[in-house]
Amino acid sequence: MTEKKNLVGNAQTLRPAQVAGCTPAQVVQWLAEQDLTARELQGTRVITGLTMDSREVQEGDLYVALGGAKAHGASFVEAALKLGASALLTDAEGLEIAQASTDIPDDFGIIICEDLRRAVGPLSACIYNSQPDDGSAPRLFAMTGTNGKTTSTYMINSIMKALDHTTGLIGTIEILAGGQAIPSKLTTPESPHVHSLIALMREQNITAAAMEVSSHALDYRRVDGIRYDISGFTNLTQDHLDQHGTMQSYFESKAELFTPQRSRRAVITVDDEWGEKMARGAADAMGAENVVRLTTAHGAGLTALPAHCGAGDWALVDVARHGIGHTFTVQRGDGTMLTTSTQLPADFNVSNAALAAVMVYESASDGAERELIKKVLADPATVTPVVPGRMQLISTAPTALVDFAHNPDALKRALEAIEPASSEGKIIIVFGATGERDQTKRPIMGEIAASYADIVVVTDDDPHGEAAAPIREAIVAGALAAVEGGARARQVLNLEPRSHAIAEAINLAGPADSILIAGRGHEVAQDVAGTDIELDDRVETAKALEEAGFVVLEAYSTERK
Ligand SMILES: CC(=O)N[C@H]1[C@@H](OP(=O)(O)OP(=O)(O)OC[C@H]2O[C@@H](n3ccc(=O)[nH]c3=O)[C@H](O)[C@@H]2O)O[C@H](CO)[C@@H](O)[C@@H]1O[C@H](C)C(=O)N[C@@H](C)C(=O)N[C@H](CCC(=O)O)C(=O)O
Ligand SMILES: Nc1ncnc2c1ncn2[C@@H]1O[C@H](COP(=O)(O)OP(=O)(O)OP(=O)(O)O)[C@@H](O)[C@H]1O
């Protein structure tokens, strides 16, 4: 057991080297340009950066102290001062808290504004000059949707690299900028981080960057002040109802990305009613000419373009299984075709690859670039990036995969993808559900597991502060109810800790079977009541396979070293 790693500040360790510096008066003026009223109370220190977290203040920062669910940031102003903050931006409540909590020097800036969440994004853009109009900012791709954001951003990254771009990435697994890779704390970092990262990318001559935009990010205004060149939508299925309450409000949060102030163009996957609705809303907001619809028909592919396809819309046609992956073509209503393949397993990865390819194509600046895109897509390696913990193969006999599926739709689709080729093979699943998050999905995931697997092993995910046993029991209840109703599973086990559950699942497997270890993907620690317990599903799976006398894939063994 190790203490919780202090990840705070990771994204913030990467800042641009060149920042012009500004005064509190300039901050007030920039806010006024955004129709935000602010008052400068005092201060002369020069501001060269900003942060919303006292623990990551750097010399010269503007510390933005806002009220949160647990605390008001102003209670931490003393810590910010000690770390060298130049100024404080807070609301009236924060001012009272700050003045009561510490002595504030006269040259320390104080600015008051009552709409801090709305202020911080545009202000970050000004302080870091992240997206100037001179064409020096990277081409920016945004990806939203319930599932597939990470995978499709890695695919965009891989295609842009093949086009000889220097690339950056911001997402759930890691942030890649300026030759550095740092682990992520959030899918979408806070706006000061996002803007400083984009400015840093500019300095590093990064010419294309793909980032994941979560619904939380849109609700918390983490991407305000950014205008993406092209934004994509994967899908919308049940998740995060603890944050959004209803699917409609979850949808509305995501729809915010497809507005003219945030995105120049959009590619929307329209495989279900949510996608159709998103495309209609985007066309109303951004203009129909800026919105492209993509039909992937859940990866099944069509033999011809669907009748509703407009001249600018795309559809997936001619999908063929090729090894563990697929070769496919996406066709535009005007007859343009892109043929490519991905070796990442599962039909949903065809949808992800189609979306990535179409977004890159639609973002091209001219005909020459479009021709080059067609050429690089023809190489099977282009859309086959290594995406840590996403349908990651650990062995082939049995087929053992570690995947990040942690909501009903992802779990169902991952299970569908691993149906063994031989009718003798069985499917074994190991998974759990996160504590302190959407409780309604637990029995649903149990039911799905029992419907698609022969052996269901329920175990712990991240319990966070919640007791682990009742979480497992809620999943088991869903699985057993499905079995009573005639579902496929013939064994439902409730095992902990997770490493033991993985080992038991592998002990129950034969070489023709498929084992899916779902829910944690790339993660290397399990959060139990605020303490991180080291646990990597890939390591545990490989260890258990070897102990059971199975062979671990060379590719995984190499990565492990
Ligand atoms: C639910 C949620 O998103 N909460 C966000 C919210 O937290 P909060 O309102 O509770 O803030 P708080 O803890 O009361 O603190 C108030 C203020 O004091 C500051 N503070 C706090 C302590 C301290 O020592 N110093 C300090 O400055 C905080 O930075 C904050 O600005 O505002 C904070 C910053 O202002 C965010 O960091 C925080 O995200 C937390 C870390 C989080 O875990 N969010 C997750 C749920 C999230 O955003 N996930 C999405 C989706 C992932 C997915 O799709 O699966 C993501 O994009 O990662
Ligand atoms: N297009 C898709 N449709 C449905 N499921 C998918 C799709 N793409 C990936 N998945 C499944 O969802 C899991 C998460 O995939 P990925 O990390 O790419 O998505 P994400 O949107 O970044 O997820 P999160 O927001 O939870 O980080 C994968 O491990 C896989 O099981």
Ligand that comes closest to the CA of residue 149: 2
Count of domains forming the chain: 3
Q: Atom 48, ligand 1: which residue's CA is nearest?
A: 216
Residue 396: which CATH number? 3.90.190.20
Residue found by looking up tokens 């690339």 in the block: 167
Q: In this prediction, does ipTM exceed 0.85?
A: yes
Judged by DSSP in three states, 11 sits in helix
Does the Cβ of 192 fall within 6 Å of ligand 1?
no
- Best substitution site from 141, 401, 404 to test ligand 2's pocket, by max atoms within 8 Å of Cβ? 404
Residue set of the binding site for ATP:
145-151
pLDDT less than 50: residues of the chain: 1-9
> Would you list which residues are annotated within the binding site?
54, 145-151, 187-188, 214, 222
pLDDT digits (tens, 9 = 90+) for 192-208: 999 999 999 999 999 99
Centroid of ligand 1 to alpha carbon of 25 (angstroms):
28
Instruction: Answer yes or no: do 199 and 330 share one domain.
Output: yes
From atom 15 of ligand 2, which residue's Cα is the shortest distance away? 148
User: What DSSP string runs through 27-69?
Assistant: HHHHHHHTT--EEEEE--PPB-EEES-GGG--TTEEEEE-B-S
What distance in angstroms lies between residue 232's CA and the mean position of ligand 2's atoms?
Answer: 14
Note every long-range contact of 543-547, with CB atoms under 8 Å and residues 24 or more positions apart, other chains counting.
Answer: 543/503, 544/502, 544/503, 544/505, 544/506, 544/507, 545/394, 545/395, 545/400, 545/506, 547/503, 547/506
Question: pLDDT (tens digit, 9 = 90+) per residue, 147-173?
Answer: 999 999 999 999 999 999 999 999 999
Q: What pLDDT score does 11 carry? A: 61
The answer to whether residue 150 is domain-embedded is: yes
Cα-to-centroid distance, 31 and ligand 2 (Å): 37
In-domain check, residue 365: yes
Distance of CA 554 to the CA centre of its chain: 28
Ligand 1 nearest-atom number relative to CA 73? 18
The pairing of strands 228-233 and 139-144 is: parallel
Shared-domain flag, residues 57 and 92? yes
Distance from chain centroid for Cα 484: 36
pLDDT at 178: 64
- Cβ–Cβ < 8 Å for 116, 136: no
Ligand 2 centroid – CA 409 distance (Å): 9
Atom of ligand 1 nearest to the CA of 67: 16
Give yes or no: residues 135 and 200 share one domain.
Answer: yes
**Residue that terminates a domain, selected from 75, 97, 126:** 126
Residue 71: CB within 6 Å of ligand 1?
yes
Last residue of a domain, one of 364, 383, 402: 383
Q: Which residues contact 239 (CB under 8 A, 6 or more apart)?
A: 146, 250, 407, 438, 441
202 & 94 share domain: no
**Residue 417 CA, ligand 1 centroid: distance in Å:** 35
In a domain, 10, yes or no: no
Residue 50 lies in a domain: yes
Ligand 1 centroid from CA 153, angstroms: 23
For residues 199 and 226, membership in a common domain is answered with: yes
Question: Ligand 2 atom closest to Cα of 234?
Answer: 1
CA of 39 to the centre of ligand 2 (A): 44
Domain annotation covers residue 324? yes
Ligand 1 touching residue 228 (CB < 6 A): no
Predicted confidence at residue 146, as pLDDT, reads 93
Q: Phi and psi dihedrals of 437, rounded to 5?
A: -135, 175
Q: Is 13 inside a domain boundary?
A: no
Residues 191 and 103 in one domain: no
Whether residue 116 is contained in a domain is answered as yes
CATH of the domain at 276: 3.40.1190.10
Shared domain for 504 and 485, answered yes or no, is yes
Q: Which of 102, 126, 150 is the last residue of a domain?
A: 126
Task: Tell me the longest C-alpha to C-alpha distance in the chain.
Answer: 77
CATH number at residue 108: 3.40.1390.10
Q: Would you say the CB of residue 217 lies under 6 angstroms from ligand 1?
A: yes
Q: What's the half-sphere exposure (Cβ side, CA atoms, 13 Å) at 34?
A: 24
Output the pLDDT for position 7: 34
- Cα-to-centroid distance, 68 and ligand 1 (Å): 8
Tokens representing residue 326 in the block: 């697929």
Atom of ligand 1 nearest to the CA of 219: 3
Residue 497 is classified by DSSP as: S
Please indicate, yes or no, whether residues 379 and 405 belong to a single structural domain of this protein.
no
**One domain for residues 277 and 320:** yes
| Same structural domain, 401 and 312 | no
Pocket of ligand 2 (CB under 6 A): 147-151, 172, 187, 212, 234-235, 348, 351-352, 390, 403-405, 409-410, 413-414, 521
Ligand 2 atom with the smallest distance to the CA of 146 is 21
Residue 121 domain boundaries: 21-126
What is the Cα–Cα distance from 387 to 400, expressed in whole angstroms? 16
Task: Please indicate, yes or no, whether residues 370 and 498 belong to a single structural domain of this protein.
Answer: no
Return the ligand 2 atom nearest residue 151 CA.
18
Q: Is 186 in the pocket of ligand 1 (CB under 6 A)?
A: yes
For ligand 1, pick from 220, 238, 243 the residue to mutate: most ligand atoms within 8 Å of CB.
220
Element of type H or E holding 351: helix 347-363
Which protein residue has the closest C-alpha to ligand 2 atom 17? 150
Asked whether residue 228 is assigned to any structural domain, the reply reads: yes
* C-beta of 188 in contact with ligand 1 (< 6 A): yes
* Any atom of ligand 1 within 6 Å of the Cβ of 253: no
Q: How far is the CA of 246 from the centre of ligand 2 (A)?
A: 20
Q: What does each C-alpha distance from 143 to 16, 74, 252 come to in angstroms?
A: 24, 33, 15
In this structure, the answer to whether residues 194 and 259 fall within a common structural domain is yes
